[in-house]
Structures are given as structure tokens and as C-alpha cells.
Structure 1
Amino acid sequence: MAGQWIDIAAKDGGTFKGYLALPASGSGPGILLLQEIFGVNKSMREVADHYAEEGYVVLAPDLFWRMEPGIELGYTEADFGKAMGYYQRFDANQSIKDAADALKVLRARPECKGKVGALGFCLGGKLAYLVAARTDVDCAVSYYGVGIEADLGEAGDVKCPVVFHFAELDRFAPPEARAQVEAAFKGRPEIEFYLYPGCDHAFAAPERASFNKPATLMAHTRSIAAFRKALGPHYDLSALWDRHTELEFATRSAEQTMTTMVAEPYVNHIPTMTGGVGYRDLLRFYKNHFIPKTPQDTKLVPISRTIGSDRIVDEMLFCFTHDIEIDWMLPGVPPTGKYVEIPLVAIVRFRGDKLYNEHIYWDQASVLVQIGLLDPKKLPVAGVETAKKLVDESLPSNTLMARWSESAGK
């Protein structure tokens, strides 16, 4: 998804550039993306493209333009030195005026429908806070903002929800600074604080050594939850997932199944590490190793469904007769003709109105017991009993635990 550079008129004269990224739908709520000290570089543009894929109209203004237009730095030691030089000359107060001009342009765009939020990283993390205090944005998200504690006199001017993401090991936002920020917003439930243990500054930047993927994923979900709640757009994730599974198990069309997913999705069946990463591999997997290699009598029995801001967790019974070699679940195992019932959990993540990835979990030992390849008398494993107990909690517990009887009466 490629964005474009547009011109932004400054209130005091002159123009500067901003990178505009649009969602596939062509319109949506707005996000004002506020840069790091490295300029609106490739990394920032990728963030803009990512949030456009989530359904937002994103504008990232060049806030260094008064010093030098079009600054784009990488993350080498030399680039970091240059970035710090720009940071030391940076006029934060003037930049908020420029950000307000960009915000006005964003709101006026025909593609921007409804409310607008602010999102910033590092320097931009502080600017997101100041934009929340000085403009009419409807929501703000700050990633490891530097120096926020110096401007907490404006905390009372913040009237919208704000999410602060901080890293435990961040020397640029140390514990005492974080404590001051939290204290300034005490008693305000619409202001959220999240600390990421073991993480350092810029943990959400894939190009940097401090990148931490688990923390980045968690922070993104929290950010999306805040934006969805304050701005929208709101998607029927349950219906989208139901349509996807219908195309897999009823229509049985690999090509149609792929239309429900983003351009480069992935699927991972955790117990067997089967699936695919990227459109071509996943289509190949669905077309040759999943859809035609799933038994015709396969039945999904829903048990529970939890719907979040950007994902669904589905708990179900997966039932089938092993009358075909199931490449994705039992690769290399000839059909046994055995009937199998197992609990299965699908964690499905979305970007906007498309599926982005699936993590599928089941108990492979239970499958192997039920088709006769694993002896439950020799190992602490169970067969169909795991499925039966999922729907009937009155069935006995601890049957695999020989010492259970020893604690009777204790």
C-alpha cells in the first residue's frame, strides 16, 4: 500500500510536506502520525501504511521542515548523532502549531470521515501528549515519549483519552519521569498507562536492536483498542471469521478463502508448524494441503467466542473421521478410519476488515491417542476424554494423576 506526499500550509506562511496513507476502502477516521527524531523516514511511512491497513486515513507531517525539509535518517550511529543534533535545535512549541495545521488539513480531506486521533513515537510520543493538550484531537497514543514530565502543567488541558506506552529499561523515560506522568493523571480512567518489562526505548521499531516483537504486538493491540473505541471504524469481526471458515470448510475454495485475508497473511498450526507465510505460500498450503486434505465429515462445534478490538479467540470441538491423510494435522500418517474429537482454539488477528493471521492450537497427543498411535497407559495423555470434559465439567478430573487419591481428606 503506497502513500503520497501532500502539501500542508503553515498558518504563519510557507508550506511543508506530509505523508498521506489511505485505507483500501478509500476513507475512514484520521490519525495524525508524529515522527521520531529521524524524520518521516521509511520506518515512519511504514507505520502510516500499517495504520491505513487498519482502516485509517493517516497523515505524517514533516515537523523538521523549518530546520531542513525532507530529513530522512536511518538508525546507524552516525544517523543517531545527526538526529540528536536536530533534536537539540527543535522547537517543540512551534511544531505543535505545525501539527495543528496538519490536523486541520487532515480533517478537511474528503477521505477523512469522522474523528481524528494522534499517534507518536519517541519525540512524537511527547508531541502526541502536547497535541492532546493543545488541539481538538479525539484520542492520542504515545510510545515511549521523551520529556513529557517537563510539560505536565498542561495535563489538565487534556480532554480526550490517551494511552501511554513506556519501556521498563528506557533511560530516556526513566522510572521517576514515568511516575510523574502517572501522578499527573491519577484518578482519570480514560488515561491508560502500560509498562513493558525488560524492554528498552524504541521497542516497537523493527529496524532497531531494541525491537521486542511480543511487546510490540501487545502495544499495538492496546493502541488499536483505544482508537477503535474513540474513533472507529467498527468491523463485525465475528461475521468476517464466519465467512472465512465457511469458504474453507463448506465452499472449499482456496482462492475465495484468500479474498478474506490481507495481501500478505500467515497461518500457523502450532502443534505441527504447518501453514504458510505470505500470499503465495498460504494459497499453496490452502489449495494443496489443507482444504483437499481435510476430511469431508469435519464438523466444528462452537464452545465460546471472545471478540477483541483486533482479534477473535474461538474455542471449539474439532470433529472428523481420519479417512484421508491429513497433511496439516497428521502429515505422513495413513488413514486409520478412526473418529476423532478434540478441543481446538483459534486465535485470529485482523487488520481492518481482513484476516491477518491465525494461530491454531490443539492437543496433538489426544489426536494420536484416538487414532491408535500413542498408548495412554504409558504416558500422562488422554484421548477423546479431553473433548468430552470440555462440554461436561461434571466428568471426573485428575484421572491421569495417580497421587490424587493420596490427598483425599487432607
Structure 2
Amino acid sequence: MTQQDLQIKTNDGTAKAGLFRPSVASPAKAGVILYMDAFGPRPALHGMAERLANEGYAVLVPDLFYRNAPYGPFDAKTAFVQETTKAALMALVSGTTQAMTISDGAAFLDALAGEGVTGPIGTVGYCMGGARALNAAVAYPDRIKAAASFHGGNLASDAADSPHRKAASIKARLYVGMAGVDRSFPPEQSARLAEALRVAEVDHTIENYAGMAHGWCVPDHSVFDATGAERHWKRLTTFFAETLI
């Protein structure tokens, strides 16, 4: 596995990103954009990207908060507990709109192509990255073949930029893994998303991880669950293996 640091030019500036690849002897079979959670790029997410790279993918981990850099770093276990860091995080999340990340997606895809990753592309997002991974499939249907969300919030909300509203534009196959109890993605949103995807004839799976809390997949999160995380890895790697071919 190899890692390199990229500087990606976007319409709004320059986004830092890490690119993780299989060994030189084993070229990547496809590309993946990993959309971060609210705590930003850090060793925990890079470790997850490395695991995907070892499955044979070129994995891009862009900093979605680059417009506000420098910021943090944040401790995923305590950042939402302490009022000062909670306020800073909420400002970053609310100040980085879905429209901004959708626009950035073109630059992310072009960065992968510029690094020789010309095969099919998948996306995966965690927490705030979940909806962004799905919205990338909405915005770039001819380039993204698979999109996954784990404990993603507001996937079928009342907001105008909720991914379910443009389900008809999606050509990718989708996988949504939701926490058993998650205020950011309650049962009524799950039902709304399922209906929208079915009506749009999108190939999809929505799976409930009973007993898991929002954030269970990410190893430095306060609610990380090792057994649940391994289940997520099995689902994700199978999903990409079946789709990014």
C-alpha cells in the first residue's frame, strides 16, 4: 500500500487529500472517494482508507472543510461534549454545504483520473459524509457506479438538498447502513428514502444495524463497535467487489 498527499484545485480554492493505493505491483482495479465524518481527515480515517486500498482500490480522502483551513484537530471522543469544540464543529459542518461538496466532486473525480485511476468509481461516506456520497451519485451518474452511506444523517430530510429528492438521477447501485437508533436518520426518513429509491428504480439495499449507535464504524469514535465495524467492512467490500467491475 502506498500513500501520497494531493493538492486538489477546486472552484473555491485548494483541497488537501490523501490518496491510498495498492502496492505498485498490484494496480488499483477501481477508485473510491471516502467522504469524511464531521471530525475531518485524521489517522482513523486514513486507516480505513488503507484497509480499502489493501482490497485493491485507489482511495481518495479529501478534506471537505478546506475552505476553513486550518482548523482542529478534533478528538472524536470528546469534541461534541465540550462546548467550544462542539460550536467549532457545528460551524464547519453547517458552513460546508451539500452544494459545495457536490461542486467539489468534479475536482475529486478529475484528481483520480489525473493519477491514472480510470476505472469505475465508488463513493462511501460516514456521518455527514453519507449524504454527500449519495449526492455525488446524483450529480455524477455517468462516473460513479456505487455509493454507500454508513450512519449517514438526513438522507431523506425536508431539506432541498436531501439526496432522496433526486433519486431519479441516480444510475449507481446504493447501499445504506443505518445505526439502530439515530436521531439524524429516524425511521420516517428511512421509509421515505426506500420509497424514493424504489419508485426511481434504483438498485439499492438499506440495512438496519440494530444496537449500533451513530458513529459505530469509525475506530476513534466514542461509540465504535468492533463487531459492528467488521460487519460493515464485510458489507462494504462485498458491495464494491460486486459493483466496481
Same fold per superposition (TM over 0.5): yes
Q: How far 1:71 moved relative to its partner? A: 4.9
- Taking the TM superposition and a 5 Å limit, the aligned residue runs for 1:88-237 are 88-110=94-116, 112-135=117-140, 136-150=143-157, 151=162, 152-186=164-198, 188=201, 190-232=203-245
2:45 maps to a residue whose letter is M
Contact 1:16 1:69 in 2 (8 A): no
CA distance in 2, matches of 1:144, 1:14: 29
CA distance in 2, matches of 1:170, 1:231: 29
CA distance in 1, matches of 2:42, 2:243: 28
**Partner deviation per Cα, 1:212-261 (whole Å, 9 max, x = no partner):** 222221221111111111114xxxxxxxxxxxxxxxxxxxxxxxxxxxxx
Structure 1 runs not aligned, ≥5 long: 233-410
Q: Considering only aligned residues, what root-mean-square deviation do their CA atoms show, in Å?
A: 1.8
Structure 2 runs not aligned, ≥5 long: none
2:14 maps to a residue whose letter is T
**TM-score of the aligned structures, taking structure 1 as reference length:** 0.53
**Partner deviation per Cα, 1:27-84 (whole Å, 9 max, x = no partner):** 3310011111111122211111111111100111111111224654221133444322
Q: How far 1:181 moved relative to its partner? A: 1.1
**TM-score of the aligned structures, taking structure 2 as reference length:** 0.87
2:194 maps to a residue whose letter is E
**Partner deviation per Cα, 1:260-318 (whole Å, 9 max, x = no partner):** xxxxxxxxxxxxxxxxxxxxxxxxxxxxxxxxxxxxxxxxxxxxxxxxxxxxxxxxxxx
Contact 1:27 1:113 in 2 (8 A): no
Identity of aligned residues (%): 27
Contact 1:61 1:99 in 2 (8 A): no
Structure 1 or 2, whichever has the larger Rg, is 1
- Range 80-89 or range 13-22, more displaced: 80-89
CA distance in 2, matches of 1:53, 1:46: 11
**Equivalent position of 2:49 in the other structure:** 48
Contact 2:172 2:202 in 1 (8 A): no
CA distance in 1, matches of 2:219, 2:66: 25
Contact 1:16 1:62 in 2 (8 A): yes
**Partner deviation per Cα, 1:78-112 (whole Å, 9 max, x = no partner):** 344432221122222011111221111112312x2
Q: Do the aligned partners of residues 42 and 80 (structure 1) sit closer, same or farther apart at CA in structure 2, a change above 3 Å counting? A: farther
CA distance in 2, matches of 1:17, 1:65: 7
Q: How far 1:129 moved relative to its partner? A: 0.8
Contact 1:41 1:73 in 2 (8 A): no
**Equivalent position of 2:33 in the other structure:** 32
2:4 maps to a residue whose letter is Q
Q: How far 1:155 moved relative to its partner? A: 1.1
CA distance in 1, matches of 2:89, 2:217: 18
| Higher relative contact order (Cα pairs below 8 Å, separated by 6+ residues) | 2
CA distance in 1, matches of 2:56, 2:86: 32
Q: How far 1:2 moved relative to its partner? A: 5.4
2:16 maps to a residue whose letter is K
SS for the counterpart of 2:212 is coil
SS for the counterpart of 2:231 is helix
Q: How far 1:185 moved relative to its partner? A: 1.3
Contact 1:17 1:62 in 2 (8 A): yes
Contact 1:41 1:74 in 2 (8 A): no
**Equivalent position of 2:9 in the other structure:** 9
**Partner deviation per Cα, 1:143-201 (whole Å, 9 max, x = no partner):** 11111113221111111101000011112211111111112112646211110111110
How many residues matched? 230
